[in-house]
Amino acid sequence: MTQDQRLSQIADLLTLKADGNYGLSAINQRQHALQCALLAEQAGCPDTLIAAALLHDIGHMVHNLGENPAEDGVDDQHEALGHAFLANWFGPAVTEPVRLHVAAKRYLCATEADYFAKLSGDSVLSLSLQGGPMSAAEVAAFDAMPHAAAAVQLRRFDEQAKVKGLQTPRVAHFMTYVAGCINPPATAAAV
Ligand code: FE
């Protein structure tokens, strides 16, 4: 697959496969992805983290478990699906925050007293399925990971990116960042 084909496939997922509701909120997956990427852009994050913010829930677009499997008691493991989908095309600066964005919620609930109160209803529901707040040992292990800080930053954007009716740039605007950090097809160089 050429680089253009890879980029088209990603843009198509965000454009055509993202009409499902974002969990139990009143926005769809595409609006959530765009809001998350916009927050990262406005915060002056590196291109890799803006791309990660745009793509962090792509696992929801490549699986068929419905809009909010947590309602049925299912942990969809979308962060692992998303990571697996992205891992051949991007380096760890993009893929690790995606892989760790659910763990980052468990981390923040363990390390910040008021964080749990900021979670939306569906995040609370999925938190228990994902293992609840981290233990002290899990917190220490998470802190030691190279992309832990970026994952925590992405998680904060994720929590805020649920605003009904917010205007954002379109998918094509953020695909520029994605194009800037996708690996060339011939080499698998890490970003
Ligand atoms: Fe999200």
Does a structural domain hold residue 187? no
Instruction: With respect to residue 188, please indicate whether it lies within any of the assigned structural domains.
Output: no
Burial of 113 (0-12, 13-18, 19+ CB in 10 A): exposed
Residue 170 lies in a domain: yes
Give the per-residue pLDDT at 187.
Answer: 55
| CA atoms of 107 and 96, how far apart (whole Å) | 15
Q: How many other C-beta atoms can be found within 10 angstroms of the C-beta atom of residue 88? A: 12
Gap from CA of 50 to ligand 1 centroid (Å): 13
56 CA distance to ligand 1 middle (Å): 6
How far, in Å, from the CA of 88 to the mean position of ligand 1?
21
Return phi, psi of residue 21, to 5°.
-60, 150
* Residues 2, 183: Cα–Cα separation, whole Å: 11
Indicate whether 189 pLDDT > 80.
no
Mean pLDDT in residue range 126-147? 95
- CATH number of the domain enclosing 29: 1.10.3210.10
In a domain, 16, yes or no: yes
Q: Which residues have a beta carbon within 5 Å of ligand 1, which is an ion?
A: 57, 158
Query: Which amino acid is present at 81?
Result: L
Q: Which domain holds residue 100?
A: 3-181
Model pLDDT for residues 11-34, shown as the tens digit of each residue: 999 998 888 888 767 899 999 999
Ligand 1 centroid–CA 190 distance in Å is 24
Structural domain contains residue 38: yes
CA of 144 to the centre of ligand 1 (A): 23
pLDDT in tens, 140-157: 999 999 999 999 999 999
- On the question of pLDDT at 53 being above 90, the answer is yes
Residue 166: inside a domain, yes or no?
Answer: yes
Å from CA of 188 to ligand 1 middle: 27
Closest CA to 109 of 123, 92, 93: 123
Does residue 190 surpass a pLDDT of 60? Answer: no
The DSSP letter of residue 73 is T
pLDDT band at 191 (very low <50, low <70, confident <90, very high): low
CA distance 112 to 81: 28
Distance 36 CA to ligand 1 centre (A): 8
Q: How many domains does the chain have?
A: 1
Ligand 1 geometric centre to CA of 157 (Å): 8
**0.85 exceeded by the pTM?**
yes
Q: 186: CA distance to ligand 1 center in Å? A: 31
Percent of the chain with pLDDT over 90: 69
